[in-house]
Amino acid sequence: MYKLQAGMGLVLAASLLIAGCGGEENEPLRERPEPASSRAQPVDAPTDAEQASVAPLEVTISTSVSLRTDRRLMVEGETNLPDQAQVQVIVEREVSRVRWHTRANVNDGRFSAGPFGSGSGLPDGTYIVRVQLSEASVQPEIVQERIGRRGEHLAGELVSQSRHGLGQMATYSRRFLVGDEPRRTRDQVEIH
């Protein structure tokens, strides 16, 4: 009999517990709100409609170089990249692979960088000037609106996929000669 009373007491306790948790029958179930950190966050990826509304930007870049009296190099360029676009300008000596670089911003379709070279100036020889549009993720918001969040609106022969999987980027390069000792070459170089 003791076991029967204990079993009935257990059933009664469970019934009370269930009844106390149920509330009214007509009350709708309420979900607990999710913490903000677990909610799905909006993705910055543009929709197909947004991508279709932005025309591709056929990137153009051109440069001119000048040697200052101290034999250090200045680079000036023109481009159709949007204002405030950040570009990296690199000057590399072909023989030694010694490099100098700096960042520049595009303003009114132009950019300027330099002086490049050591304090004693650049030795005679062949150099490469390279201009690279930095990845879209580091560009100002206004630039990203034109070129895309991953550079997807960039087009043309200067555009390629980033090595680091960060989207598309644009790179321009040109060779030039400093000094009056032209070396034998089959490539077209500009002599200064």
In the chain the domains, ranked by start, together with CATH numbers, are 49-191 (2.60.40.10)
pLDDT tens-digit map of 59-118? 999 999 999 999 999 999 999 999 999 999 999 999 999 999 999 999 999 999 999 998
SS (H, E, C) 116-150: ECCCCCCCCEEEEEEEEECCHHHCCHHHHHHHCCC
Query: What tokens were used for 121?
Result: 């100036």
Q: Would you state the pLDDT for residue 53?
A: 78
- Coil vs helix vs strand at 92: strand
pLDDT tens-digit map of 123-171? 999 999 999 998 999 999 999 999 999 999 999 999 999 877 789 999 9
Query: What tokens were used for 53?
Result: 């509304």
- Are the beta carbons of 79 and 105 closer than 8 angstroms? no
- Coil vs helix vs strand at 34: coil
pLDDT tens-digit map of 15-73? 544 445 444 444 443 444 444 444 444 445 555 444 457 899 999 999 999 999 999 99
